Structure 1
């Protein structure tokens, strides 16, 4: 499997926090990762307020959301480099630079295709960022061994 960014203007790629497109060739499967906030990945429903006490800092909220997603990637033996699409939901567009700084800490020089959307509210009071992702799984990648699998 090969994954590479598609840049119509490669000389300007380093100025972008995301790729305009990502091409995946020889792919096996896709992993759709549900939106994650700074709240614990596993929490009760209906929500219990004590489980959703979130830091106000955008960088810390982004780190916690990414930690939740990393648990999913780790469960499948994948890395940030396998992520081909990233949707970012923020409650204030003025926070995007801080969010992108943390994304760069995790993704390094890899920039998946991305969409940024400003929303009024997220699932937990005080949540300022939610991230969802799509990862490409190589054809020769081992099958999942976790409970709750397939249909």
Structure 2
């Protein structure tokens, strides 16, 4: 499977925390990963407040959301390099830089395509970030 970022101006790619587009070639499938917050991946519904005591720090919330998503990737033997699209929902656009710093810790030099949206509220009280992703699956899966 071949996955590559598409940069109309490759010499400026290092200025972006995401790729304008990602191209996936050859045989593959797609894995759609539901939105994850810093709350535990598996929790009760309706919500039980004790399960959703979250740190206020955006970097820590981003790390926790990514850990939840990593559980899904691991279940399919995928890595961050398989992620081709991220939608990032934040409750405060000023948290963007901290969020991108943590995303870089996990993704390294790989930059999937991405969208960032500021919203009023997320699914858990105190949640400041929610991430959903699309990953490309090798045809062997």
Total equivalences in the alignment: 141
Q: What pairs up with 1:17-56 in 2 under 5 angstroms? A: 17-56=17-56
The RMSD of aligned alpha carbons is 0.5
Give the Å deviation of 1:140: 2.0
Deviations 1:80-137 (A, max 9, x none): 0000000000000000000000000000000000000000000011100000000000
Tell me, what secondary structure is at the counterpart of 2:111? Answer: coil
Q: How is 1:1-150 mapped onto 2 (pairs within 5 angstroms)?
A: 1-141=1-141
SS in 1 for 2:78: coil
TM-score normalised by the chain length of structure 1: 0.92
Contact 1:20 1:113 in 2 (8 A): yes
Measure the CA separation in 2 of the matches of 1:49 and 1:27. Answer: 44
Q: Tell me the residue number matched to 1:145.
A: none
Counterparts of 2:51 and 2:128, CA distance in 1: 16
SS in 2 for 1:105: helix
TM-score of the aligned structures, taking structure 2 as reference length: 0.99
Gaps of 5+ in 2: none
State the SS of the aligned residue for 2:105: helix
Distance 1:98 1:28 in 2: 33
User: What SS does the aligned partner of 1:96 have?
Assistant: helix
Match of 1:117, SS state, is: strand
The runs of 4+ residues in structure 1 deviating greater than 2 Å are none
Is 1:27–1:136's contact at 8 Å kept on the other side of the alignment?
no
Cα displacement (A) at 1:22? 0.1
